[in-house]
Amino acid sequence: MLFISIGAFTQEDRQEDIKVGLVLSGGGAKGLAHIGVLKTIDSLGIKIDHVAGTSMGAIIGSLYASGYSGMELDSIFNELDFDDLINDVHPRESKTFYERENSEKYAISLPFDNFKVTLPSAISRGQNVFNLLSQMTLHVSDIENFNELPIPFFCMATNVETGAPVLLDRGNLAQAIAASGAFPSLFQPVIIDDQILIDGGVTNNYPVDELRAKGMDIIIGVDVQDGLANRDNLKTAPEILIQINNYRTINDMKVKSKKTDIYIKPDIEDFSVISFDYGKEIINNGERAAYNKVFYLKDVATRQGIKDRQDIEMVSKDSITINSINIEGNEKYKRAYILGKLKLKANSTISYDDFNDGINNLASTNNFDMFSYRFVPNQEGYDLNAVLTENQTNTYLKFGVHYDELYKSAALINITQKHLLFDSDVASFDAIIGDNLRYNFEYYIDNGFYWSVGFRSRFNDFTKNVNVETVLSLAEINATGLNKIGIKLADFTNQFYLQTLFRKDFSLTLGAEHKRLNITSETIIENSDDKETVFEKSDFFGLFGTLKYDSYNNRYFPTRGVYFNGDM
């Protein structure tokens, strides 16, 4: 359960005091130093009249402008798991049984549209970051104009098509700050008003001029940008991208720092943009940097005069009541499919944990690039307005390797095609190339918690030495004197089935099966004209059923959960 105490400075009945602006630069994990500066600002009683930020500066600045104190931000950010947050890790239990089996066999998956192999646009969709920001700004979700926040706010993003800086000061606050922090190659771009937006640091990492234009008399600026790195620190793609961008931003700061009345530059050279594990040290360094300017900061507080904070009642954030659900952007997928994945119903109360689980269910399908949403207050609850961005990639090439004692070594090559015949279907074909050639084909129409429909075809072929007792009588064994016999088995199986889910880890599968089994041996030749002896060459028809429960958190190295698979 997360409780938030919100406090905002009153803006009314001020004497002719100075207007103070706060600008926070981008810098990835180094931006956590902003929190230390905010703690100092709060302790001195300085009232900020306008906040501007870019990237991490936009994230920290927007939360401060929404009413969080520096101390509250310190507590919140020290508890976050940044690895899960940034990497968009989806728990295994958020995937359906088909999605688990289809994804866990392969080491590499690449988009393959129009017979061209492409690379993903980013490592992460940024969905987990958006979810967190949306939850933390719920109390101001009814505010369209960011000037109406407890402290007026704006942030900077970059239009990736034109290269122009974009000032964001209205709309969906969580979406705006997600766009400002959409670092290229790490996070997918964010679309706002038909503009494709990425990290504002690409064009304006320190919007001091835009803040001055808001009528600020004094500007406090916090600069956490990197200096130029040496060759020892240029080993990854993000580090090289940051270095390229820093050529411009460092030159910009030579001018912009002089336009800042109180310029704070924390000593964070020992940290990188991904040093989130050192958050506490970075925050402390920010606090120390602010105290180095304490004489100037106290002067600002004195000139402002003394004003009390306006306390706002504690707000519980563990659950939310959803009155209505509005979904836009779904062209290929029906509303029932989406709500089934989200496990949402109108006029119901849902915990934030369950709401985030539902978003994980939707994201794990890989059918959507982004699920952006906004909670709009309505009476005692909220209306959920959601916009889906459907994944335009329908075809994937996947690769893996396999080894076991029976089939020996093999390379797995898979092609997966979505929307083959219907909007919610997927077809998958495995070619297993190695000591024993095999194939697996599966076609699946996903109807969520309703009955889904599937067809499976597979061919297995292997040769193995087995004990003669399995195929020969005692008299034949005595006559041949054999202990083992080389058997070649070919199994061609086709299945049609229906599958339904009970909760998310329990499935029931019912179907019909045709199997052609061919078992031969070259070890024993009954007739000199024969090349092999046939032990079995038959067609079988039957019904089958499978009851499966799988709550493992990891298929290969589980640390929790239960697995049960029973055939009927």
- In this prediction, residue 9 has a pLDDT band, given cuts at 50, 70 and 90, of very low
Radius of gyration of the chain (CA): 30
Mean pLDDT of 468-490: 74
Q: Are the beta carbons of 489 and 461 closer than 8 angstroms?
A: yes
Q: What are the tokens at 78? A: 């020290």
Which has the higher per-residue pLDDT, 303 or 23? 23
Residue 316 has pLDDT above 60, yes or no: no
Nearest alpha-carbon partner for 35 in 27, 337, 551, 372: 27
Q: Are the beta carbons of 38 and 11 closer than 8 angstroms?
A: no
Q: Are the beta carbons of 192 and 168 closer than 8 angstroms?
A: yes
Residue 526 has pLDDT above 50, yes or no: yes
Q: Are strands 381-390 and 368-378 parallel, antiparallel or unpaired?
A: antiparallel
Q: For the chain, give the percent of residues with pLDDT over 90.
A: 47
Compute the distance between CA of residue 108 and CA of residue 128 in angstroms, rounded to an integer.
23
Mean pLDDT of 256-273: 91
List own/partner pairs for 555-560 with CB under 8 A and 24 or more apart.
555/92, 555/100, 555/104, 556/104
pLDDT computed for residue 273 by the predictor = 80
pLDDT in tens, 113-133: 777 777 676 778 889 899 999
Compute the distance between CA of residue 484 and CA of residue 467 in angstroms, rounded to an integer.
5
- In this prediction, residue 308 has a pLDDT band, given cuts at 50, 70 and 90, of low
Q: Are the beta carbons of 219 and 261 closer than 8 angstroms?
A: yes
* Euclidean distance between the first and the last CA atom of the chain, given in angstroms as a whole number: 43
Compute the distance between CA of residue 433 and CA of residue 439 in angstroms, rounded to an integer.
9
- In this prediction, residue 482 has a pLDDT band, given cuts at 50, 70 and 90, of confident
- In this prediction, residue 295 has a pLDDT band, given cuts at 50, 70 and 90, of very high
Burial string for 21-32 (b: 16+ CB within 10 Å, else e) reads bbbbbbbbbbbb
Compute the distance between CA of residue 50 and CA of residue 146 in angstroms, rounded to an integer.
10
Q: Are the beta carbons of 110 and 415 closer than 8 angstroms?
A: no
As to burial, measured by CB atoms within 10 angstroms (0-12 exposed, 13-18 middle, 19+ buried), residue 43 is: middle
pLDDT computed for residue 397 by the predictor = 92
Q: Which amino acid belongs to residue 356? A: N
Going from the N-terminus, what domains does the chain have, and what CATH number goes with each? Answer: 20-88+124-304 (3.40.1090.10), 319-390 (3.10.20.310), 395-567 (2.40.160.50)
Compute the distance between CA of residue 425 and CA of residue 444 in angstroms, rounded to an integer.
6
Q: How many helices and strands in the chain, by DSSP H and E?
A: 14, 25
Mean pLDDT of 163-167: 95
Distances (CA, A) of 540 to 245, 440, 470, 497, 526: 66, 19, 20, 17, 26
- In this prediction, residue 527 has a pLDDT band, given cuts at 50, 70 and 90, of low
Which has the higher per-residue pLDDT, 277 or 243? 277
Q: Which amino acid belongs to residue 184? A: P
Residue 565 has pLDDT above 80, yes or no: yes
Burial string for 135-160 (b: 16+ CB within 10 Å, else e) reads bbbbbbbebeebeebbbbbbbbbbbb
Among 83-92, 214-223, 241-250, 392-401, the range scoring the smallest mean pLDDT is 241-250
pLDDT in tens, 483-494: 777 788 899 999
Among 6-20, 107-121, 211-225, 328-342, the range scoring the smallest mean pLDDT is 6-20
pLDDT computed for residue 238 by the predictor = 66
Compute the distance between CA of residue 439 and CA of residue 431 in angstroms, rounded to an integer.
5
Among 141-150, 255-264, 497-506, 520-529, the range scoring the smallest mean pLDDT is 520-529
Which has the higher per-residue pLDDT, 37 or 7? 37
Spacing of C-alpha 505 from chain mean position? 21
β-bridge partners, 399: 108, 413
pLDDT in tens, 192-247: 999 999 999 999 999 999 999 999 999 999 999 876 667 777 777 767 777 776 77
Q: Which amino acid belongs to residue 119? A: L
Q: For the chain, give the percent of residues with pLDDT over 70.
A: 89
Which has the higher per-residue pLDDT, 250 or 79? 79
The mean of the pLDDT values for the chain is 85
Residue 507 has pLDDT above 90, yes or no: no
